[in-house]
């Protein structure tokens, strides 16, 4: 039978899959304990504050434990999966003597260690090697048991059920796996007064957090879940007021029955009830949490100024229709956003100071000689702002291709954290929702953001006559610490001029 040494257990920790991220939620496990994994194989999908990311395992082995269930938010650096890399065969966890540290025992708490046999002499801890003979006999007996007899796996990440065989744990080097604090306390076991080891209560991380918030000691909670797991209901029951039955008076003599009707007692005041169907509470996490923090930080750090201009974009729409028929643009996404993006890139080239950021620590303005063009995208996961790297150097077909890939990837939820870092200026198209315009908030670290309003057919003075024309309103927000009104106005005016007269893409481009 293949056994596992302490050194063979490898703990894969939650990595920082994006710059500065501190936590991620486990969305889905693709493996289970006993599965064989290879280097580079995806074992789970996690959602960070920026994107959903698949995590590959960095070594070969057999999965021994998944430390957290799906839906759990885990801090970066915490172990999430234990893998036996010893090369042992078999797809299921193998029962092994404690002396050789089975994989499932890797997450066993000190409180779950079996008590020492009573017949062992009370030797000092340093003399433990002299008492290894009885332990070895017990270990051999345990190893001879069929898999699943005596040591039953329980919820992932919470060790194994206590074995009926009592033996002294072998001292050895620290196991390079997750451990919980030592909370072992000696207490009487009620069978002759011998000291017994108190086990650490079993509960999922959210339940432990709930108990901590409510001030409940889990050791005092009566578990109702399978295998002695404490549930949320058990914690709530522990803090609920005691039932009237628990306040029973001392037993008294029987009272003779009387014929008169009993005097009615005042009805107990019912506990306040709330119609939960009228409200839905959604935890703030993932993209929403990151967006909220970024917007608050931006709004109260950079002094925003927003300017507006209403323009006739009839000619731009005609150019869009012509480009759709151009053989060089076949198969590409051609729409007004493409030409607006090109217009903004030209305006930035004509006014490079707009493409900058404010370095508070160094007290410097950082002017960037490249444009990573951000595109705000509404996705099922929330608002994402991936950017097109070096958009200033792309031709119109290349820009169209990049826009198409950016939008489709965002809608499918496959945007990587790297794609949302390093943006310099951003475009947000609120017009797709029928909105005339807005006052957009800067993406953190950027100095300008352009909002596009809905394009509508409106009466417009054209060549001295009122005619129906395609009209929209643009809004440019900028950081007034480094962008003066003159600079912001020039950039907005250049974008407007190009969209009114698209031939400026040639003369200015």
For the annotated catalytic residues, the residue numbers are 480
- Among 508, 371, 507, CA closest to 427: 371
Give the integer Cα–Cα distance in Å for 119 and 97. 20
* Rg, C-alpha atoms of the chain: 33
Q: Are strands 425-429 and 373-375 parallel, antiparallel or unpaired?
A: parallel
Instruction: Retrieve residue 467's tokens.
Output: 């005619």
- Which DSSP state fits 333? -
- Angle 314-325/336-350 helices, nearest 10 degrees? 110
Q: Virtual CA dihedral for 169, 173, 179, 181, nearest 10 degrees?
A: 80
Q: Give the C-alpha distances (Å, rounded to integers) separating 41 from 12, 58, 82, 234.
A: 13, 8, 15, 39
- Among 159, 116, 122, CA closest to 138: 116
451 contacts 288 by C-beta, under 8 angstroms: no
Beta-ladder partners of 358: 365
3-class DSSP assignment, residue 254: coil
User: Which DSSP string corresponds to 362-410?
Assistant: TTEEEE-SS--EEE-EEETTEEE--EETTGGG--HHHHHHHHHHHHHHH
436 contacts 293 by C-beta, under 8 angstroms: no
Counting runs of H as helices and runs of E as strands, what totals does the chain give?
9, 23
Give the integer Cα–Cα distance in Å for 10 and 86. 10
Q: Virtual CA dihedral for 290, 295, 296, 298, nearest 10 degrees?
A: 120
106 contacts 55 by C-beta, under 8 angstroms: no
CA atoms within 13 A on the CB side of 172: 13
């Amino acid at each position: 039978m293949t056994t596992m040494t302490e050194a063979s257990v490898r703990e894969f920790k939650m990595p920082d899959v994006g710059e500065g991220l501190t936590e991620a939620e486990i969305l889905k496990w693709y493996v289970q304990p006993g599965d064989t994994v290879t280097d580079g194989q995806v074992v789970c999908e996690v959602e960070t504050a920026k994107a959903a990311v698949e995590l590959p395992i960095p070594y070969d082995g057999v999965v021994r434990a998944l430390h957290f269930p799906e839906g759990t938010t885990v801090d970066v650096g915490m172990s999430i999966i234990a893998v036996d890399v010893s090369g042992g065969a078999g797809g299921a966890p193998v029962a092994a003597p404690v002396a050789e540290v089975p994989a499932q025992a890797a997450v066993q708490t000190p409180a779950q260690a079996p008590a020492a046999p009573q017949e062992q002499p009370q030797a000092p801890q340093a003399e433990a090697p002299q008492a290894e003979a009885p332990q070895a006999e017990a270990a051999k007996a345990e190893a001879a048991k069929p898999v699943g007899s005596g040591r039953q796996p329980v919820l992932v990440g919470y060790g194994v059920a206590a074995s009926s065989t009592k033996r002294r744990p072998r001292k050895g080097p620290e196991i390079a796996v997750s451990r919980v604090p030592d909370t072992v306390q000696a207490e009487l076991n009620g069978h002759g007064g011998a000291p017994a080891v108190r086990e650490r209560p079993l509960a999922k991380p959210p339940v432990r957090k709930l108990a901590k918030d409510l001030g409940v000691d889990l050791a005092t909670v009566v578990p109702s879940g399978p295998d002695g797991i404490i549930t949320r209901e058990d914690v709530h029951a522990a803090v609920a007021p005691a039932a009237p039955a628990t306040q029973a008076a001392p037993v008294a003599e029987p009272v003779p029955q009387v014929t008169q009707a009993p005097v009615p007692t005042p009805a107990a005041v019912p506990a306040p009830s709330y119609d939960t169907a009228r409200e839905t509470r959604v935890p703030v996490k993932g993209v929403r949490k990151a967006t909220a923090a970024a917007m608050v930080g931006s709004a109260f750090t950079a002094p925003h100024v927003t300017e507006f201009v209403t323009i006739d974009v009839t000619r731009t729409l005609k150019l869009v229709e012509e480009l759709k028929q151009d053989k060089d643009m076949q198969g590409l996404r051609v729409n007004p956003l493409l030409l607006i993006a090109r217009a903004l890139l030209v305006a930035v080239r004509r006014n490079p100071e707009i493409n900058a950021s404010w370095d508070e620590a160094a007290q410097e303005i950082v002017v960037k000689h490249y444009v990573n063009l951000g595109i705000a995208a509404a996705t099922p996961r929330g608002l994402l702002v991936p950017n097109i790297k070096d958009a200033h150097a792309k031709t119109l077909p290349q820009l169209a291709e990049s826009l198409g890939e950016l939008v489709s990837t965002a809608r499918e939820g496959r945007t990587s954290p790297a794609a949302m870092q390093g943006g310099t200026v951003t475009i947000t198209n609120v017009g797709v929702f029928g909105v005339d315009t807005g006052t957009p908030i800067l993406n953190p670290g950027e100095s300008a953001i352009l909002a596009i309003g809905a394009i509508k057919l409106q009466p417009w003075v054209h060549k001295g006559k009122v005619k129906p024309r395609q009209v929209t309103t643009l809004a440019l927000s900028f950081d007034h610490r480094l962008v003066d009104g003159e600079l912001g106005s020039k950039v907005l005016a250049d974008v407007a001029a190009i969209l009114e007269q698209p031939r400026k893409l040639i003369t200015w481009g």
